[in-house]
């Protein structure tokens, strides 16, 4: 029996790609990868506007943000919830100029409460002309799940964004994406940079920004919500230079090695703060809550992920970001398929390896791939999206997929691979072990 219920599934453009606009899983609601499209031809007419009247009406990005958030609001209403019960937002943009217009739309639609948010620049979105990609995680009202906004001393919020730093929902804690700006949101914090710009070797910038984010942003934000780094479940680490990965994770593991969380390291085209080279968001469970963290230690090839296979907490399973790599690099057969790239052969082989691994991880956690609730695809070439999505068919025949996709800068954390999957799944209570 599959518990994760697709909401408003729609066939995209008459193709064989069935998109789940949302997923209801227990008391959770997932809406992944939304762009302002009409699902038939592309960018919605309301967003495009009238060619002969380009300066009439709301600004273009305000219209685009309104379209997405109106759609999400309608989906939430049908599922028995609303925007006030959002607990996490993720946004990707190919052009920074989209952000201010989207923020205006977000404030108009959400009002005073905006969930913890992460916004970064990506190379390209799927729909031609789209400049905003939004994912929302929300809860069904009641049962102690109603979001409680938490302020953390010394953890600033950019005034134009206005999101909550931390939110508590039941036993879960969600922390917004954090960067290394100072408390006034004007400059790089002095604690996150080299002691002197003239010193040739006075510390490595990525190490200092990573340490600063963990110690002065994520840790206090978690503690303000009654949690701790030890009870972190899932982190997304966005890097402006993927070559910084080893230094970043060396610092990360000095804090998380004893109680690791699932980790996805994502190549990123840019950030909202120009001196920032890294952004991290985090979620976890409260230290004194009934819901406990469980690391799923299914052994993975060394190159496939940077964290444990997955972490389970209550009825949520968060996998680390997966790429198709083995002990010594990309899986065999990717490069040899280059002559068949227009058939998607290499992409199919990568996605097949990822999904076979994800299936084993879900099984070890007491659930299945059929319970997937969120599937972000990060690709270095969006021409590979279609074969990547078709690779799901043998695993979930005819299923509506809750997918999102963006193009990221090459290379991937494992050079030679061209896609990464960041998956979440629903894991209903098993054998009374989880509350």
pLDDT digits (tens, 9 = 90+) for 312-342: 999 999 999 999 999 999 999 887 777 888 8
Share above pLDDT 70 across residues of the chain, in percent, rounded to a whole number? 98
Residues 6 or more apart whose Cβ sits within 8 Å of residue 414: 303, 323, 325, 329, 330
Q: What is the pLDDT, as a whole number, of residue 431?
A: 35
Question: Does residue 9 carry a pLDDT above 90?
Answer: yes
Q: For residue 281, what are the CA distances in angstroms to 26, 78, 210, 371? A: 24, 29, 12, 24
Domains and CATH numbers, the chain: 1-146 (3.30.1330.40)
Model pLDDT, residue 432: 38
Q: pLDDT, tens digit, for every residue of 369-408?
A: 999 999 999 999 999 999 999 999 999 999 999 999 999 9
With both helix axes pointing from N to C terminus, report the angle between 60-78 and 97-110 in degrees, rounded to the nearest 10. 40
Mean pLDDT for all residues in the chain: 95
C-alpha Rg value of the chain to the nearest Å: 21
Residue in 295, 175, 238, 232 with CA at minimum distance from that of residue 420: 238
Q: pLDDT grade, residue 423 (50/70/90)?
A: very high
Rounded Cα–Cα distance for residues 309 and 405 (Å): 21
Q: Using alpha carbons only, what angle is made at residue 282 by residues 205 and 232, rounded to the nearest 5 degrees?
A: 110
- The model's pLDDT over 233-288, given as tens digits with 9 standing for 90+, comes to 999 999 999 999 999 999 999 999 999 999 999 999 999 999 999 999 999 999 99
Task: Write down the pLDDT at residue 435.
Answer: 36
pLDDT tens track for 102-147:
999 999 999 999 999 999 999 999 999 999 999 999 999 999 999 9
* pLDDT confidence bin for 203, thresholds 50/70/90: confident
pLDDT value, residue 359: 98
């Amino acid at each position: 029996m599959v518990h994760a219920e697709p909401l408003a599934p729609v066939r995209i453009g008459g193709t064989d790609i069935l998109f789940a606009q949302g997923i209801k899983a227990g008391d959770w609601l997932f809406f992944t990868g939304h762009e302002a499209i009409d699902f038939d031809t592309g960018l919605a007419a309301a967003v495009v506007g009238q060619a002969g009247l380009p300066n009439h009406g709301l600004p273009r990005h305000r219209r685009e943000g309104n379209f997405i958030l109106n759609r999400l609001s309608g989906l939430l209403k049908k599922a028995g919830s609303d925007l006030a019960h959002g607990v996490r937002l993720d946004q990707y943009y190919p052009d920074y100029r989209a952000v201010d217009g989207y923020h205006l739309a977000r404030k108009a639609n959400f009002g005073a409460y905006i969930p913890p948010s992460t916004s970064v620049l990506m190379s390209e979105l799927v729909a031609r002309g789209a400049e905003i990609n939004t994912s929302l995680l929300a809860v069904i009202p009641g049962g102690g799940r109603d979001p409680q906004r938490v302020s953390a001393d010394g953890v600033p919020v950019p005034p134009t964004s206005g999101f909550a730093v931390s939110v508590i929902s039941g036993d879960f804690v969600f922390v917004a994406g954090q960067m290394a700006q100072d408390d006034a949101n004007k400059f790089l914090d002095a604690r996150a940079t080299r002691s002197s710009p003239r010193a040739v070797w006075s510390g490595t910038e990525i190490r200092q920004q990573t340490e600063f984010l963990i110690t002065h942003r994520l840790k206090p934000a978690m503690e303000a919500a009654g949690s701790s780094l030890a009870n972190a479940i899932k982190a997304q680490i966005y890097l402006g230079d993927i070559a910084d990965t080893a230094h970043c994770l060396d610092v990360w593991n000095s804090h998380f090695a004893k109680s690791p969380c699932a980790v996805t390291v994502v190549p990123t085209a840019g950030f909202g703060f120009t001196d920032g080279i890294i952004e991290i968001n985090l979620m976890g469970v409260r230290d004194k809550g009934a819901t406990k963290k469980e690391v799923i230690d299914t052994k993975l090839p060394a190159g496939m992920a940077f964290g444990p296979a997955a972490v389970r907490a209550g009825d949520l399973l968060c996998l680390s970001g997966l790429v198709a790599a083995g002990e010594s690099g990309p899986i065999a057969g990717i490069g040899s398929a280059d002559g068949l790239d227009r058939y998607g052969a290499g992409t199919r082989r990568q996605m097949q390896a990822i999904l076979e691994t994800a299936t084993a991880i879900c099984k070890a956690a007491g659930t299945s791939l059929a319970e997937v609730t969120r599937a972000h695809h990060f690709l270095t070439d969006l021409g590979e999206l279609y074969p990547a999505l078709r690779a799901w068919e043998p695993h979930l025949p005819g299923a509506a997929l809750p997918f999102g996709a963006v193009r990221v800068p090459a290379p991937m954390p494992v050079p030679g691979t061209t896609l990464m999957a960041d998956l979440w799944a629903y894991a209903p209570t098993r054998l009374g072990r989880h509350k």
